[in-house]
Structure 1
Amino acid sequence: MKINEIIRTRRKELKLTQEQAAEYLGISAPAVNKWEKGVSYPDITLLPPLARLLKVDLNTLLSFEDDLTGEEINHFCNEVFSVLKESGYKEGYELAMKKIREFPNSDSLIYNLAGFLKGTLLMFPVPDEDKAKYEEKIRELFERVAKNSETDWRIRGGALNMLVSDYITAEDYSRAEELLAQMPEPGVDKRPMLTLLYRKQGKVEEAVKMTQQKLLQAAGDVQNCLITLMDIYKKQNDWENMEYYAGKCRDVVELLDLWQYGKYMVDYEMAVAEKDADRTLELLGNILEEMGTPWELSKSRLYYKLAEQKENSGQQTEIFKRMRTGLLTELEKSEEFAFVRDRQEFTELIEKFRGDGGPA
């Protein structure tokens, strides 16, 4: 709660009138009324006696220890996303920063908003001269969380991971190594024991959901490892090994009911690496189509219990379309795709999906 809400709530809980509170503090009743409406705030010299009157500590009175729940943070991210769509990245970013200023000690809020702003920076048009500034501000948010030794390691570790990735991309390897050294070894995964407990208790639904969560994470980890191996050999121009890992990645997508985008993407990477224009354009069409289709976990017997927590078809579709817009922009600008730009099929794909993917 904000300070005005705390004053009003505690005064009423203690059954004090505004006149009584004013009398005890030696001020006027209208002043207390303005505090509670948020029109004005108590003078700094009145904070200690006010806290004593309301029987709260100063941290509580000033909301220093106030935090948001996970549901509140998710809801706010949805609000920011709506502003991004309607008014642009600058307005969405400013709304997020305003919330952070309101809850400056909420590492969970700061971490989640930093990740959200980083992801949406790729989806929404931002002038090139502003993009680097936003990236630096977002990096500062992750640094802020990473520096707090009292932060939950699930949050702090996530912030450190994001920073390490950024510094590796920027080729600042010494800073990346420094941050990696701060990270502890992975903790114990308690999900297998929780699943066993649920089974013993006869909580079948909970046991199935927990196991499906672990399976989905493991499937994603396997896919990411194969993509990494494929990328390593791509940079070495080792087409034989690249094709081998691409094939394994296709198998994993089919076997473990992963998003079909993953299957098309590895074939697309192969085609681009080999500069096979016909194959590249064919697969590009499949990828762009797939990016407009939500991944429906409810249709998979492997993950159907996770459908509620993973699916929000409206927002998911919007996010995928924004991802598609980012890909289209890269296709038009990057030298890597120069070998297909003079093809009529390329122009037709750009025109078709540009109109359906949100603003460029």
Structure 2
Amino acid sequence: MAEINIAKQLLAARHEKKITQEELASYVGVSKAAVSKWESGVSFPDITLLPKLATYFNVSIDELIGYEPQLTREQIKELYSQLKNIFANEKFEVAMAECRELEKKYYSCFPFLLQMAILYLNHATLSDAPAHIYEHCIELTQRIRSLSEDVNDAKDALTLEASCYLLLGEPMKVMDLMDERLHPISRDTELLAQVYQGIGNIQGAIDAYQVAMYQHLLFLICDSAPLALLNAADITKAEQIITRAIDCIDIYNMDELHPNTTAGIYITGAQIYCMHGENAKALDMLERYTYICEHCFFPLVLHGDAFFDRIDEWFLQFDLGNQAPRSEKLIVSSMVEAVEKNPAFAGLMDEKRYNGVVKRLKGIGEKY
């Protein structure tokens, strides 16, 4: 991430052009001492001289002063990693102050602003006033949607904005943003696979179909948890939803591939069984949840396996690569809270198995 550094840029440009300080001073109409001060960083050229200097060296003014308003994907990824660790290890206010300074600096870098909104959304609950964080996320997403020329960034910003309104308890604003008709899932990836196949790129077609299958599995498992909760009054229906989701998890090894998604199924199943007084089944779910927390989460890096053997490169194309949106320390803390502070499990607190689960989860935290 380049800082404004006109001294370094001027010196490099002059050496490249193979001219002396006297020659540059003569062209611009200043003294040799003035040029020397510019190149040593003691002073800066008058702003009215920048176009003349840029023209002389055949560069833009931004290039002349070493200013880069846009960050590369790798730079955004690196910054995100640094900032999520600050949220994990410093006071929330300290982390936010650091983030807001970076926002000001790269306010026209919309991919960066999008990742900042994601960062805030993943850490807002650490704040004493999460609603203010959600509102700030909305400001960022609206800026992205109104000014970014990247269709995908604008689309992602819309989804984030809708999520913020839901967290603020304003579902009608989500309705204003979204088309409330239920559309079939886009099959763009499958269409691309057919294109690859048609032009003889068989490996490209295989890659695309694997990515499509993997995503559809995640959608199915992720959607099963809220669907089961909506059917919680009907234990037969809810149990059928949970059981089918777990069948998919087992068949495709999803505990290993995406434990963050499968964990939601086990917590949801435990809550529903508790609602119906089936404590033994609830504890079975919690023990499975604990097992994946112990054995499948860390290091938390998205990856394929022997079946999904073509998706690792796809993960690396993400803005954050294959890393998690929160630090391991905060993830472990949320693992424990999902069980220990969940009011749905109040009836289990005297159970030996339940206390064993909590102890095992806290044991994970001791490593981080």
Q: In the alignment, what sits opposite 2:309?
A: 304
Q: In the alignment, what sits opposite 2:345?
A: 337
**Contact 1:65 1:105 (C-alpha < 8 Å) held by counterparts:** no
2:365 paired with 1:357: yes
**Contact 2:114 2:140 (C-alpha < 8 Å) held by counterparts:** yes
Q: In the alignment, what sits opposite 1:244?
A: 240
How far apart in 1 are the matches of 2:73 and 2:347?
Answer: 46
Is the alpha carbon distance of 1:12 and 1:161 closer, same or farther for their aligned partners in structure 2, counting shifts above 3 Å? Answer: farther
Q: In the alignment, what sits opposite 2:276?
A: 274
User: CA-to-partner distance for each residue in 1:176-202, whole Å, 9 max, x for gaps?
Assistant: 2232269xx999755345434444555
**Greater mean alpha carbon deviation, residues 168-177 or residues 78-87:** 78-87
How far apart in 2 are the matches of 1:358 and 1:97?
Answer: 32
How far apart in 1 are the matches of 2:364 and 2:42?
Answer: 46
Is the alpha carbon distance of 1:129 and 1:264 closer, same or farther for their aligned partners in structure 2, counting shifts above 3 Å? Answer: closer
Q: In the alignment, what sits opposite 2:249?
A: 253
**Greater mean alpha carbon deviation, residues 162-171 or residues 76-85:** 76-85
Aligned AA for 1:71? E
| Match for residue 333 of structure 2 among 315, 325, 328 | 325
Report how far residue 228 of structure 1 moved: 3.7
Report how far residue 325 of structure 1 moved: 1.2
Structure 2: 5+ residue stretches without partners: none
Within a 5 Å distance, the mapping from 1:92-171 to structure 2 comes to: 92-121=95-124, 126=126, 128-129=127-128, 131-148=130-147, 150-171=148-169
Aligned AA for 2:128? E
Q: In the alignment, what sits opposite 1:77?
A: 80
Report how far residue 219 of structure 1 moved: 1.6
How far apart in 1 are the matches of 2:34 and 2:110?
Answer: 34
**Greater mean alpha carbon deviation, residues 256-265 or residues 32-41:** 32-41
Structure 1: 5+ residue stretches without partners: none
Aligned AA for 1:281? L
Q: In the alignment, what sits opposite 1:212?
A: 210
User: CA-to-partner distance for each residue in 1:2-54, whole Å, 9 max, x for gaps?
Assistant: 43265455445444445444443344556556655666554433333333334
**Contact 1:324 1:357 (C-alpha < 8 Å) held by counterparts:** yes
Aligned AA for 1:129? D
Is the alpha carbon distance of 1:194 and 1:132 closer, same or farther for their aligned partners in structure 2, counting shifts above 3 Å? Answer: closer
Is the alpha carbon distance of 1:31 and 1:201 closer, same or farther for their aligned partners in structure 2, counting shifts above 3 Å? Answer: farther
Identity of aligned residues (%): 21
| Match for residue 67 of structure 1 among 70, 83, 86 | 70
| Residue correspondences, number | 351
Is the alpha carbon distance of 1:56 and 1:254 closer, same or farther for their aligned partners in structure 2, counting shifts above 3 Å? Answer: same
**Greater mean alpha carbon deviation, residues 106-115 or residues 273-282:** 273-282
Aligned AA for 1:253? I
**Contact 1:281 1:346 (C-alpha < 8 Å) held by counterparts:** yes
Is the alpha carbon distance of 1:350 and 1:192 closer, same or farther for their aligned partners in structure 2, counting shifts above 3 Å? Answer: closer
Aligned AA for 2:144? V
How far apart in 1 are the matches of 2:36 and 2:354?
Answer: 65
2:59 paired with 1:52: no
**Contact 2:122 2:325 (C-alpha < 8 Å) held by counterparts:** no
**Contact 1:107 1:151 (C-alpha < 8 Å) held by counterparts:** no
How far apart in 2 are the matches of 1:161 and 1:347?
Answer: 39
Is the alpha carbon distance of 1:189 and 1:100 closer, same or farther for their aligned partners in structure 2, counting shifts above 3 Å? Answer: farther
2:289 paired with 1:287: yes
How far apart in 1 are the matches of 2:25 and 2:186?
Answer: 55
State TM-score, norm by structure 2.
0.76
**Contact 1:60 1:66 (C-alpha < 8 Å) held by counterparts:** no
- What secondary structure, in the 3-state scheme, does the structure 2 residue paired with 1:304 have? coil
- What secondary structure, in the 3-state scheme, does the structure 2 residue paired with 1:288 have? helix
**Contact 1:3 1:61 (C-alpha < 8 Å) held by counterparts:** no
How far apart in 2 are the matches of 1:305 and 1:20?
Answer: 59
Aligned AA for 1:157? K
**Contact 2:293 2:361 (C-alpha < 8 Å) held by counterparts:** no
How far apart in 1 are the matches of 2:361 and 2:191?
Answer: 47
- What secondary structure, in the 3-state scheme, does the structure 1 residue paired with 2:169 have? coil
Aligned AA for 2:28? L
User: CA-to-partner distance for each residue in 1:258-287, whole Å, 9 max, x for gaps?
Assistant: 236425345324324334334333422321
Q: In the alignment, what sits opposite 2:266?
A: 264
- What secondary structure, in the 3-state scheme, does the structure 2 residue paired with 1:259 have? helix
Aligned AA for 2:78? H
| Match for residue 221 of structure 1 among 219, 222, 225 | 219
